[in-house]
């Protein structure tokens, strides 16, 4: 593939990001026959996200069927009378897992500044989410009685405060054992109420976030079967 054209401002931002990734040891220059196009997407905080278009590679990738957690079951589990919650967020979670050297060339992406490949797990690959979920499930396999994992979001739950401190220590030790790093700015510890998977969770009460309720109320009344199906889908 050819590099996507970009205006000078976006290309300048892309060059900065590429240099940062090189300096951090997350990517390296490549001589791969693969070349996924690359673009920058602006995030809510107005910073930029590097996106690799792996559409062609994903189309020939054998799917890893390791399941992601069912959100409804996950939320129901947290509503079973627990009183204290901690929410832990892995810092750039996917990037904390190295890629097998024999597979790195497949992740190559092209930019106006050259061809590069990932040394860590990139987002956008078909099997990145199931690979990440499987790995985290193994990391916290000894903590299934007090924690739930949805990709890089971890929730620790307990009935009492003292019990919660023990559970939290157990989970943190498991993460430390595998050299995994948390993002302190996105972690919440020993709370009686947290936001998780688009819901507010507290003891015996789980409610959607207010903005989700407003968006549902604002949906037009379905006038046909196809529109009704789309309406039902928007509720999930």
Distances (CA, A) of 228 to 175, 213, 216, 235: 44, 18, 13, 11
pTM attached to this predicted model: 0.80
Distances (CA, A) of 12 to 1, 16, 17, 22, 23: 21, 6, 9, 16, 17
Task: Give the CA dihedral 24, 27, 30, 34, nearest 10 degrees.
Answer: -170
Give 172's pLDDT tier (boundaries 50, 70, 90): very high
pLDDT at position 135: 95
For the residues 115-141, what does the mean pLDDT come to?
A: 95
Residue-wise pLDDT tens digits, 56-78: 999 999 999 999 888 777 777 77
Q: What's the DSSP call for residue 114?
A: E
Alpha-carbon dihedral sign for residues 79, 80, 84, 90: negative
In whole angstroms, give the CA distance from residue 65 to residue 130: 7
Give 46's pLDDT tier (boundaries 50, 70, 90): confident
Residue-wise pLDDT tens digits, 71-102: 777 777 776 688 999 999 999 999 999 999 99
Cα angle: 200, vertex 203, 208; to 5 degrees: 20
Domains of the chain: 8-203 (3.30.70.270)
8 A C-beta contact, residue 96 and residue 120? yes
For the residues 112-123, what does the mean pLDDT come to?
A: 95
For the residues 185-206, what does the mean pLDDT come to?
A: 86
- Cα 68 to the chain's mean position, in Å? 11
The CB-based long-range contact list for 179-185 (8 Å cut-off, 24+ gap) reads 179/96, 180/90, 180/96, 180/139, 181/90, 181/91, 181/96, 182/88, 182/89, 182/90, 182/91, 183/89, 183/90, 183/91, 183/92
When comparing pLDDT for 19 and 73, which is higher?
19
pLDDT at position 228: 53
């Amino acid at each position: 593939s050819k590099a996507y054209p970009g205006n000078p401002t976006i290309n300048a931002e892309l060059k900065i990001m590429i240099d940062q990734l090189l300096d951090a040891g997350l990517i390296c220059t490549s001589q791969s026959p693969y070349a996924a196009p690359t673009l920058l997407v602006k995030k809510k905080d107005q910073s930029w996200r590097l996106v690799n278009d792996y559409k062609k590679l994903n189309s020939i990738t054998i799917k890893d069927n390791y399941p992601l957690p069912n959100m409804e079951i996950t939320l129901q589990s947290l509503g079973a009378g627990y009183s204290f919650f901690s929410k832990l967020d892995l810092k750039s979670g996917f990037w904390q897992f190295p890629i097998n050297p024999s597979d790195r060339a497949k992740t190559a992406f092209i930019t106006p500044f050259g061809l590069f490949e990932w040394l860590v797990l990139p987002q956008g690959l078909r099997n990145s989410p199931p690979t990440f979920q499987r790995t985290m499930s193994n990391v916290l396999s000894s903590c299934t009685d007090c924690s739930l994992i949805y990709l890089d979001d971890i929730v620790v739950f307990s009935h009492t405060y003292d019990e919660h401190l023990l559970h939290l220590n157990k989970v943190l030790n498991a993460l430390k054992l595998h050299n995994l790093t948390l993002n302190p700015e996105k972690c919440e510890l020993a709370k009686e109420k947290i936001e998780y998977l688009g819901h507010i969770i507290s003891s015996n009460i789980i409610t959607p976030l207010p903005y989700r309720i407003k968006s549902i109320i604002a949906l037009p009344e379905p006038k046909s079967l196809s529109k009704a199906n789309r309406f039902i889908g928007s509720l999930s």
